[in-house]
Structure 1
Amino acid sequence: MQRSSCQPSTLCCRNSMADGAAIPYETAARMALREFGLGSARLQLVGISENVTFRADDDHSGQSYVLRLHRPDYHTLEELNSERLWLEALRSSGISVPTPVAAPDGRHFVPVHVTEGETRQVGLNLWAPGEIVGELLTAHDKSTDAAGPTEIAEPFGQLGALMATMHNQATSWTPPPSFQRHRLDLDGLLGDAPFWGPFWESPVLDERERGLLITARDHCRAQLRRYGEPSRTFSMIHADLHLANLLTHDGKLGVIDFDDAGFGWHQYDIAVAMFHSRGTADFRAARQAFLHSYRAVRPISNDDLALVPMFELIRGMAILGWRAERPEVPWPEGQLEMFRSGVVAGCERLLSGDLDRA
């Protein structure tokens, strides 16, 4: 759930190179650059979160790159290479995604020592030009009283069409036998050891709330067990596709940050887009634009869409688990309480049969 921008929802902090926390990462990044044949490139820290991200500028070629030090033990080397394979398949389908760069020896990831006992895999992509859509929308809101329905609807409509195009690619694509990626399935989202951590054990919850989340989890599990994993709505998904992970350049959209990509339900993908923008002005218009554009590219039934509100709640629970297992990642003041209260209220509505329908 790391983000590439630094909006309040992105859980990312910008730091200068003088910051003590950045020094070991900068040293490791320079080691990695030498492995990629770019030892003389200039480095600029973009953000420290789960992963540590730098921009590297090669004055000799004029090319800029994104250098990412991947969080230890989050993905295996095989899983990282599988992410790259899906990116190649998406690019072949005409979708703008990051372009990986190989080292002279053909490797796409190189291990570097960071500190005692910590080694990270480092990958390199071409720097994608453009601006983050979510940041543009936020800047527009600040420059006016509020974005109107038209301003909100346009990026959400574009996002809906793009997500549907990605779902079309994923459902028609057969990964190679060596492909390995996590599953955001029944166990991955709601099992005893969810992918992003046991959310019901979050320290911000009291005893009553923990019991409420466990009961809601069991309710969601039962509903998804009945629903199953139909091929029309279960495939590879981005799993973090919202406006803060969209770039716009010369009128074309690009998708970034595939760190969470895995096998999962399309409704979870849709729920992520809804969840991270539900509090914006004219959200109803944004949702309508998203679904209209999605359905113009890929059909989805009302029955399938009816699960989206439940997946929004599951997204909120996942974020609570993610935060509890990553206390070192800074959050804006008050954001964790906002998530906690929203998830608790959602669980209460779910169990009372009053959860919103998409």
Structure 2
Amino acid sequence: MTEMFDKLSHDQQLNILLELARQATRHYDLPEGLEVDLLNLSENATYRVRAPDGRRWALRLHRAGYHSRQAIASELAWLNDLREKHVVVTPAPVPGKDGELIQTLRHPRMGEARNVVLSHWENGVEPSITQNLTGPFEVLGEVTARMHLHSRQWQRPVWFTRPIWNFETALGETNPHWGRWRDGMGVDAPLAALFGRTVAAIGKRLAAYGQPPDRFGLIHCDLRLANLLVDGPVVKVIDFDDCGFSWFMYDAATPVSFYEHDPQVPELLEAWKTGYRRVTPLARADEDEIPTFIMLRRILLLAWIGSHAETETAQAMGIAYTQGTAGLCDAYLAKYG
């Protein structure tokens, strides 16, 4: 059945996912006459659910085989505690009619069941790189620091499980989470050689930097602009789907995802660090390694684009993103190679 679904056209798959999303709404205490519209298709399919009276929710159909039910429950446990402790504004999950936050549904044309989570809608606007983001990045730095302090102190449930994002699982050759960077769009032999030298330099620096508890722990892992909502002076954080164990300073790199080459990035990073320091000290060794995490993230996204070529984001980035990475690699190697 899964093979049958995978062989369907993109539009046919979207229709089946929409059918499943509409079916999922019936597992919650929601009003009649709902509108269900696709918001985003990436690892998961996310829908806006709108009632006739204007109330809205976000419904996520989890991709089959990406996260276990236990891993999703772990994600929800962390974001719920972050919200309840007033660390950061996050979407509040809605229990189903059976009281469970995670619903599991099947579709006759899918081989595997899909896990579903419904959350209350959060107001706000996704920031754009075309705007002046200095102020929001200062706030984001504060928010990220509070999340890191919470992560270090939080007593996780004994059953808690989330992915580990280290050098091997990001850029390694054996079984990287998002595929091999060598399979990125347009990675020819000269680029592969350049990227390979950069990856080796990243690995060497991170091996020296290490993974002690004050540098490596539970983080969001994907604070890119699409996962932030600016609501007046508040910066809200959504989509904890990739949260896991990694270097805390990796959270400094993800907000500039897909725009690492933009001229305003150095200014935005300074704003982020200013906000971070308002909450907790930022060690010089941590600050010095941020460029390494930006480079790691850039090459990791090459792998993601290559393994998610069907998504709008990957198609928008395309080969131009791969080619633009070369200049960043040259600059990085000149300083750290």
Normalised-by-shorter TM-score class: 0.7 to 0.9
Question: Which range moved further: 81-90 or 117-126?
Answer: 117-126
If the length of structure 1 is used for normalisation, what is the TM-score? 0.82
Question: Which range moved further: 46-55 or 231-240?
Answer: 46-55
How far did residue 301 of structure 1 move?
1.4
1:47 aligned onto 2:40: yes
Contact 1:201 / 1:210 at 8 angstroms: preserved in 2?
no
How far did residue 315 of structure 1 move?
0.5
Given residue 252 of structure 1, which amino acid in structure 2 is its aligned partner?
Answer: V
1:37 match: 29
The correspondence of residues 218-237 of structure 1 with structure 2, limited to 5 A, is 218-237=200-219
2:7 match: none
1:72 match: 64
1:158 match: 139
2:18 match: 26
1: distance between equivalents of 2:170 and 2:39? 30
Contact 1:152 / 1:283 at 8 angstroms: preserved in 2?
no
Contact 1:33 / 1:39 at 8 angstroms: preserved in 2?
no
2: distance between equivalents of 1:277 and 1:328? 20
SS at match of 1:183: coil
Contact 2:59 / 2:119 at 8 angstroms: preserved in 1?
yes
SS at match of 1:264: strand
How far did residue 107 of structure 1 move?
1.8
SS at match of 1:184: coil
2: distance between equivalents of 1:215 and 1:75? 32
1:91 aligned onto 2:69: no
- Which residue, 117, 131, 138 being the options, matches 1:123? 117
2: distance between equivalents of 1:47 and 1:333? 14
2:285 match: 303
1:215 match: 197
Q: How many residues align?
A: 323
Deviation string, structure 1 residues 316-351 (Cα, Å, up to 9, x no partner): 111111111112113476622332123333333333
2: distance between equivalents of 1:242 and 1:30? 28
Contact 1:316 / 1:339 at 8 angstroms: preserved in 2?
no
How far did residue 278 of structure 1 move?
4.1
1:167 match: 148
User: Any gaps of 5 or more consecutive residues in structure 1?
Assistant: 1-18, 142-150
Relative distance call for 1:330 and 1:102 in structure 2 (3 A) is: same
2: distance between equivalents of 1:313 and 1:283? 13
- Which residue, 314, 325, 330 being the options, matches 2:307? 325
1: distance between equivalents of 2:327 and 2:159? 42
2:230 match: 248
1:184 aligned onto 2:165: yes
2: distance between equivalents of 1:270 and 1:129? 24
1: distance between equivalents of 2:71 and 2:314? 31
SS at match of 1:353: helix
1: distance between equivalents of 2:60 and 2:21? 8
If the length of structure 2 is used for normalisation, what is the TM-score? 0.87
Question: Which range moved further: 321-330 or 311-320?
Answer: 321-330
The correspondence of residues 99-110 of structure 1 with structure 2, limited to 5 A, is 99-110=92-103
Relative distance call for 1:332 and 1:200 in structure 2 (3 A) is: closer
1:148 match: none
Question: Which range moved further: 38-47 or 66-75?
Answer: 38-47
- Give the root-mean-square deviation of aligned CA atoms: 2.3
Contact 1:238 / 1:260 at 8 angstroms: preserved in 2?
yes
1: distance between equivalents of 2:269 and 2:117? 35
* Misfit runs of 4+, over 6 Å: none
Given residue 118 of structure 2, which amino acid in structure 1 is its aligned partner?
Answer: L
SS at match of 1:116: coil
Given residue 26 of structure 2, which amino acid in structure 1 is its aligned partner?
Answer: R
SS at match of 2:26: helix
Deviation string, structure 1 residues 250-289 (Cα, Å, up to 9, x no partner): 5322111111111111111101124444454544332222
